[in-house]
Structure 1
């Protein structure tokens, strides 16, 4: 049976059964997979967007129609060497290509884990939010993946021992697991959270929802004991 986190001379310690550690580690792996899939999706979209276009110009074809093959090859080589760069620059003149930034994830779990910096009300705000997301999402995503991987490593030991600098990392990982489950359970406010807690306490028929409710309640308790232990060692001032 799980025993709450407590402060020690070397950090923080909690006693978790093997199946509890496996459960939390498995949830970490699931969220890592979700975040990595988002990274692959964004990378693929950026690669397509950045792929260079090389349209054939009618005037180029007409100018070489009556030339000998060797002359055509020579002319094209010179054109590539001397004018290709300028042609690419000139083709973009007069065209406005708005930077739409990066669209938020469609998956509601990812939307909760990787939120916009603010809630845009107007089209201009949405554009700014997308540009900010393009600049910031990758670092947030990688930070969360790193936290979750560290948590999995720490869960390999029994009891679970956290050094002082590892405690916030483990706490953030637990919070991301709670966020993931809260979306799946439809938790939007404190009333919803209380209903889920009551569902876990009451037990009853073992459905997927009641099982997730029990895990959510367990993770909430574990995180609270960790933060309480961290607060206990803070100086009074």
Structure 2
């Protein structure tokens, strides 16, 4: 069974069972796959070098849109222009955090420095965003519905299983953030 992250002399540590590590590895991989854009055959190398993506469009998958939301509202043309200027680097940043977190899953005991903890927090947050969209969490009532499923034996459908995964990832992220806050207080 997983142990909550905690701050200590060696950094932030946590413990995950093999099945929990496999689950997270799969979730991270799935999100990476969602975020990897199809590279057009005619991509301008200079545009790619400076992070421009003139072919980018608003995602049609609601979960991907939750990861890559419009930064500007009310003006579709400005929102698209901003997306063209920023989405490539945002995708790369998210993919980098997910890959870094996935690399940490090679051992049961996780030991994170401040940068590793930041990357893990980003990765877990992206997983939670996708799961929240798939579970249609929009209100406090929706969140309460998700938290009602408490036992893996009660998961008899996809929504129940996803609810348990969402609860696990939420708990893991909360313990990480708490450990990061303790670590921050120590450095002041």
TM-score range, shorter chain: 0.7 to 0.9
Q: Distance in 1 between matches of 2:149 and 2:132?
A: 14
Cα-Cα RMSD? 2.1
Give the TM-score taking structure 1 as reference length.
0.70
Q: Does 1:194 align with 2:124?
A: no
Q: Does 1:140 align with 2:94?
A: no
Q: Distance in 2 between matches of 1:189 and 1:138?
A: 30
Q: Distance in 1 between matches of 2:27 and 2:152?
A: 23
Offset at residue 198 of structure 1 (A): 1.2
Does the 8 Å CA contact 2:121/2:176 hold for their aligned counterparts? yes
User: What SS class does the counterpart of residue 7 from structure 1 fall into?
Assistant: strand
Q: Does 1:176 align with 2:122?
A: no
| Unaligned stretches of 5+ residues in structure 2 | 45-53
Offset at residue 103 of structure 1 (A): 2.5
Does the 8 Å CA contact 1:4/1:225 hold for their aligned counterparts? yes
Offset at residue 101 of structure 1 (A): 7.5
Q: Distance in 2 between matches of 1:174 and 1:206?
A: 25
Q: Does 1:15 align with 2:15?
A: yes
Q: Distance in 1 between matches of 2:109 and 2:11?
A: 13
User: What SS class does the counterpart of residue 110 from structure 1 fall into?
Assistant: helix
**Count, aligned residues:** 178
Match of 2:51 in 1: none
Match of 1:107 in 2: 61
Offset at residue 230 of structure 1 (A): 1.1
User: What SS class does the counterpart of residue 143 from structure 1 fall into?
Assistant: helix
1:6-45 equivalences in 2 (<5 Å): 6-36=6-36, 39-40=37-38, 43-44=39-40
Q: Which structure is larger by alpha-carbon Rg, 1 or 2? A: 1
User: What SS class does the counterpart of residue 155 from structure 1 fall into?
Assistant: helix
Match of 1:117 in 2: 71
Offset at residue 192 of structure 1 (A): 1.0
Does the 8 Å CA contact 2:152/2:161 hold for their aligned counterparts? no
Give the TM-score taking structure 2 as reference length.
0.87
User: What SS class does the counterpart of residue 196 from structure 1 fall into?
Assistant: helix
